Structures are given as structure tokens and as C-alpha cells.
Amino acid sequence: MSDTPRTILTEKEAAELLRIKPATLRQSRWNGKLAGLPAPKYLTIGRNIRYRQADLDAWLDSAAEEVCP
């Protein structure tokens, strides 16, 4: 197992990190797109939606690569 802690975020926390509304993040799960890119990965734990900090960081990095090649 890794020594680094895993940060798991709620939908609201993830939306705040990405500076978007939670409804926009919800819609991205439904249509698979966010800002014209594939939506970030998410976890379903029971009926709860969670996001890994590392997955959101990777999504932000890919978004930056798309804009700034």
C-alpha cells in the first residue's frame, strides 16, 4: 500500500476545487463531458459520489495540455 494519503472529496468539495457549480459536475457525470473534455473519474460508494484528489489533478493537467500544447 502507498505511504501517501488518499484524499477523497465530496461532489461539493470537488466542484469548489474546479471552481464550478455542483450541478455542472453532476451533468458531466451524465453526459461524460466537462469543458469539452472527458469528465473526471468518480467513485460511487453506496449512493454517494466521491472524487479522488489525484483524479481531479490529472483532469486539470489534461485540460491544461489541451489548451497549452
- What pLDDT, in 10s, does the model give residues 24-46? 999 999 999 998 899 999 999 99
Say if residues 54 and 6 touch (Cβ distance below 8 Å): yes
Report field, pTM of the whole predicted structure over 0.85 = no
pLDDT digit string (tens) for 3-27? 556 899 999 999 999 999 999 999 9
For the chain, give every domain's residue range. Answer: 8-67
Sign of CA dihedral 12, 66, 58, 26: positive
Grid-cell match 459536475, residue found:
25
